[in-house]
């Protein structure tokens, strides 16, 4: 009888020890064998996790101590290493475990082309062979990174090379962040500003954009302040609203291109989903909730939106909005039926706006000789 009691107690003890082994959060690296198994196929893209997501992954999924999240975030986003094995203050067993469960995305430029004005366009090949483009724009003391959020774009703006090429896919957060680090690694100067004005409509990939904004502006990482980051949109339903709900005071640039509904529809077909009146309502809400002036981008195209009637509509539209107007001169793209306006039309348009609007700037088109300027990114866009 005593023999059976001993066997039974031993069996209970073994079961209890097994339970502790599989459920303990006290012992680093003992949990989530299942995660490891499944992650053989799909590793977690660790460089695309915000700090909060990283902490959850490290503690809940991997059963590691919370301080590991701080270490990881700093290695990936401050020191910008590309392998867990470079993280020398993390034990070898923990590094091996991280390596089995996750991966860090690094993008290497497969093509680089520099413009006379110092602007450099980088092409990055993604793991599925999609190629995206990002631009580094020096303008001392600033160095601005222009990032893409999609491979292609579904908005179909008729003057834009990306839009003409159609939509292929959304970029993941890790791919968006890796563009920035790829650009930073190519320059000795610190990137001071980020603009989401590359390929794609950022608001159409909002979850990835929102996480990228959180990572980029996090002071534990590369720490580019929210006020130094600008998100550009043509205006899609709910887009500006979602940006308004984020914590940071991100800059907002709206690609308006015309304040006449019919002209705007010709240039930005997706505008039919958000008429000017509703777009203006969203912009005003952003300004009042964030306490920040916004930017209206207006690309002047000969015979389309450069008349005095268009200037008058723009002045009226912008009249009661806290904004500055950036005028750009159209950069020709292959196959598009548009022309650059002549100097006289540009001056006439500008002089009409000057006394009527708060701030108007004729922006130098950076990198137009390498097809890196506004609306020129995308396949087949190179001018050389
Ligand atoms: S201008 Fe922007 S939103 Fe329009 S098609 Fe080009 S990338 Fe897309």
Residue 281 CA to ligand 1 center (angstroms) comes to 21
Q: What is the mean pLDDT of residues 269-285?
A: 98
* pLDDT higher at 331 or 260: 260
- 8 alpha carbon – ligand 1 mean position (Å): 70
Q: How many angstroms is it from 251 CA to the middle of ligand 1?
A: 18
- Active site residue ranges: 133, 374
Mean per-residue pLDDT of the chain? 88
Q: Whose CA is nearest to atom 7 of ligand 1?
A: 200
| Alpha helices in the chain, H assignment, sequence order | 2-23, 33-39, 51-56, 67-77, 92-101, 161-164, 173-185, 206-217, 239-245, 261-267, 276-290, 308-318, 343-353
User: What's the CA-to-centroid distance between 232 and ligand 1, angstroms?
Assistant: 10
Pick the range with the lowest mean pLDDT from 228-237, 243-252, 279-288, 333-342: 333-342
Mean per-residue pLDDT for 186-205?
97
Q: What is the pLDDT of residue 370?
A: 60
Question: Which protein residue's CA is at the shortest distance from atom 4 of ligand 1?
Answer: 157
pLDDT over 80 at 341, yes or no: yes
Token output for 209: 């954009």
Only one residue has tokens 């006439």, namely 348
Q: What would the DSSP string read from start to end of 344-370?
A: HHHHHHHHHHTTTSS-EEE---TTGGG
Q: Which of 141, 136, 215, 229 lies closest to 175 in space, CA to CA? A: 215
Tell me the mean pLDDT in the region 303-329. 97
Question: How does pLDDT run across 140-178, given as a tens digit for each residue?
Answer: 999 999 999 999 999 999 999 898 889 999 999 999 999
Pocket test for ligand 1, best of 148, 150, 157, 164 (most atoms within 8 A of CB): 157
Per-residue pLDDT reduced to its tens digit, 239-268: 999 999 999 999 999 999 999 999 999 999
pLDDT surpasses 50 at 136? yes
Range in 10-24, 238-252, 265-279, 368-382 the model is least confident about: 10-24
User: What domains, with CATH codes, occur in the chain?
Assistant: 21-103 (1.10.150.530), 109-370 (3.20.20.70)
Atom of ligand 1 lying closest to residue 204 CA = 3
- What is Dmax (Cα atoms) for the chain? 107
* 3-class secondary-structure state, position 331: coil
């Amino acid at each position: 009888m005593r023999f059976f009691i001993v066997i039974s107690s031993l069996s209970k003890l073994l079961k209890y020890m097994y339970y502790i082994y599989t459920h303990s959060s006290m012992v680093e690296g003992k949990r989530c064998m299942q995660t490891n198994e499944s992650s053989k196929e799909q590793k977690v893209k660790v460089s695309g996790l915000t700090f909060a997501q990283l902490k959850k992954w490290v503690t809940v999924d991997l059963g590691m101590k919370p301080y590991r999240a701080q270490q990881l975030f700093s290695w990936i986003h401050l020191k910008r290493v590309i392998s867990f094995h470079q993280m020398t203050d993390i034990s070898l067993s923990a590094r091996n475990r991280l390596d089995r469960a996750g991966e860090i995305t690094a993008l290497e430029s497969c093509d680089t082309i520099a413009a006379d004005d110092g602007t450099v366009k980088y092409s990055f090949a993604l793991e599925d062979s999609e190629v995206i483009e990002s631009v580094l724009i020096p303008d001392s003391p600033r160095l601005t990174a222009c990032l893409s959020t999609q491979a292609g774009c579904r908005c179909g703006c008729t003057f834009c090379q990306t839009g003409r090429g159609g939509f292929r896919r959304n970029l993941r957060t890790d791919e968006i962040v890796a563009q920035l680090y790829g650009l930073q690694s190519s320059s000795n100067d610190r990137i001071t500003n980020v603009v989401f004005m590359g390929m794609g409509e950022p608001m159409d990939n909002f979850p990835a954009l929102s996480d990228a904004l959180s990572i980029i502006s996090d002071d534990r990482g590369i720490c580019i302040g929210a006020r130094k980051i600008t998100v550009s949109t043509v205006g899609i339903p709910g887009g500006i609203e979602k940006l308004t709900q984020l914590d940071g005071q991100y800059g907002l640039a709206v690609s308006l291109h015309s304040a006449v509904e019919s002209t705007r529809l010709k240039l930005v077909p997706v505008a039919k989903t958000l008429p000017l009146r509703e777009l203006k309502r969203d912009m005003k809400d952003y300004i009042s909730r964030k306490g920040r002036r916004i930017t209206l981008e207006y690309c002047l195209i000969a015979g389309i939106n450069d008349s005095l009637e268009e200037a008058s509509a723009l002045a009226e539209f912008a009249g009661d909005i806290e904004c500055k107007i950036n005028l750009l001169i159209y950069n020709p793209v292959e196959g598009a039926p548009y022309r650059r306006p002549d100097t006289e039309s540009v001056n006439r348009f500008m002089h009409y706006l000057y006394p009527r609007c708060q701030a108007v700037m004729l922006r130098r088109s950076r990198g137009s000789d390498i097809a890196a300027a506004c609306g020129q990114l995308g396949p087949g866009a190179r001018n050389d």
